[in-house]
Amino acid sequence: MQKLDNPEYYLDQFRDYLVVIDEVQFLPSLFPLLRHLIDDQLKAERFLLLGSAEPSLIQGASESLAGRIAYIDIHPFNILELKKASKKPIEINKHWIKGGFPKAWLCKTENDWNNWMDAFTRTFIERDMNKLFGKCWRILTVRNGMHNILQKD
């Protein structure tokens, strides 16, 4: 992330290259600059933005990049994809337990899978779900407050 301490200077060095930015949801302040750079150069597919959260969960991103961005949702492997790709028979129970995330599926030992699952679950619950429930909670409290005000009149 240090490279993006001065993002305009850094990104300007790569005007003729594809720039990949992973975990972009942690850099909402970058979105207005990306809009400017995209509009300035009018070059399709200049940036590949990767992230593990829904765009609506990106806190502080006032810039949506509407008209300049396309979303591709990548889902875990389903059982049919695994059957096609595997040389060995796939057990539906193994898929049910391990899920279809590539790193989870490729764990060689039960201990590796447990460590991966703990990290995944913790990150998902502490970061993504916390933000989502925080937004829902604020909406519910505002709605409840408005309901109480209207009931008093």
**Average pLDDT of each block of 10 consecutive residues along the chain (153 residues)?**
77 86 82 83 76 58 67 82 81 81 87 91 76 74 67 62
| Token reading at 52 | 């593990």
The amino acid occupying position 11 is: L
> Which pLDDT score is estimated for 111?
95
| Token reading at 43 | 């070059």
Q: What backbone torsions phi and psi does residue 136 show, to the nearest 5 degrees? A: -60, -45
- Sequence length of the chain is 153
Rounded Cα gap, residues 57 and 25, in angstroms: 8
Q: Can you give the pTM of this predicted structure?
A: 0.54
> Which pLDDT score is estimated for 112?
94
> Which pLDDT score is estimated for 64?
64
> Which pLDDT score is estimated for 49?
85
The amino acid occupying position 75 is: H
> Which pLDDT score is estimated for 152?
65
| Token reading at 23 | 């975990």
Q: Please state, as a whole number, how many other Cβ atoms lie within 10 Å of the Cβ of residue 73.
A: 5
